[in-house]
Chain A
Amino acid sequence: GENVEQHPSTLSVQEGDSAVIKCTYSDSASNYFPWYKQELGKRPQLIIDIRSNVGEKKDQRIAVTLNKTAKHFSLHITETQPEDSAVYFCAAVRTGTASKLTFGTGTRLQVTL
C-alpha cells in the first residue's frame, strides 16, 4: 500500500523565518497532494493542495512544490507568525473510484517570538 513519510516530526523556528516540511510517497499513481493544518484541540483544515500536473503552487505565505519523478513534495511557509504554530499533515491521494488517501505522520511546528 501507499506509504507517506514526513519530515521533520518537530520544527521550531523564530518568527519571521521560513519553515519547510517535506514528504515522500511510494505510490506513483498518487496524483493529488493536500496539506492540512491542525491547531491544538481543533479539526484539520486544508491549507493548500497541488495536483500532479503542476510543479508548484503558491498562496500568500504558503507554497507547495511537487517533484513527481522523485516522488516528493514540500510545504514552504515564509515569514512565519506565532499563529502558524500547529501540526501539519501532508497526504497523498490516488483519485478515482478506488481512491486511496494516506496521511504523513505530521510535523509539529512551533514559531517562537
Chain B
Amino acid sequence: KAGVTQTPRYLIKTRGQQVTLSCSPISGHRSVSWYQQTPGQGLQFLFEYFSETQRNKGNFPGRFSGRQFSNSRSEMNVSTLELGDSALYLCASSFDRATGDEQYFGPGTRLTVT
C-alpha cells in the first residue's frame, strides 16, 4: 500500500506571493489533516478535511485555506506569504481522524519564504 505523498517537497517563495501544497492520502483514507511544524512552535494543527468538507480548523489566519477533492486528495493554499510562514507543512491521512484512527504522515513540504 503506497504511503502518504506530498508535493512539492521543497519550495522557496517571496513575501507576498501565494503557494499551493498538495497531499495524496493512503488509498481508502477519507480524512486528511494539515499541520505546520516550526522549531519555535512545534506541531500545530491547521485544519482537517473529511469527505470534501472542512471538519475542523486550528487557530490560523484566513490566509491559510484548503480543500479536498472527491478522490480524497487535498490541497493547502497560503496567500500573501509572510516570513513567519516558513515551516515544514505536514499532512496526515486516516480512515476517520474523528474516531481516533491512526494517522499516517507524509514526508512534508518545506516552505521557505524570503
Contact = CB atoms under 8 A, between A and B. Distances in A.
Interface of A: 1, 31-32, 34, 42-46, 49, 51, 89, 93, 95-106
Contacts, number: 50
15 contacts: A34-B102, A42-B107, A44-B105, A89-B42, A93-B100, A97-B98, A98-B56, A99-B55, A99-B56, A99-B98, A102-B45, A103-B43, A103-B45, A104-B42, A106-B42
B3 to A, nearest CB: 9
Interface string B100-113: 10110111100000
User: Which among B59, B99, B106 has the greatest number of chain A C-beta atoms within 10 A?
Assistant: B99
A61 B55 CA distance: 36
Nearest to A95: B100
A98 to B, nearest CB: 7
Given A43-B106, A98-B56, A100-B45, 11 more contacts: A1-B59, A32-B100, A43-B108, A44-B90, A89-B42, A95-B100, A96-B98, A99-B48, A99-B56, A101-B97, A103-B43
A23 to B, nearest CB: 12
Nearest to B39: A106
A34 B103 CA distance: 10
A43 B105 contact: yes
Contacts of A102: 45
A38 B43 CA distance: 11
Contact of B102 (A1, A49, A99, A103): A49
Contacts of A106: 42-43
Contacts of B90: 43-44
B33 interface: yes
Interface string B63-100: 00000000000000000000000000010000001111
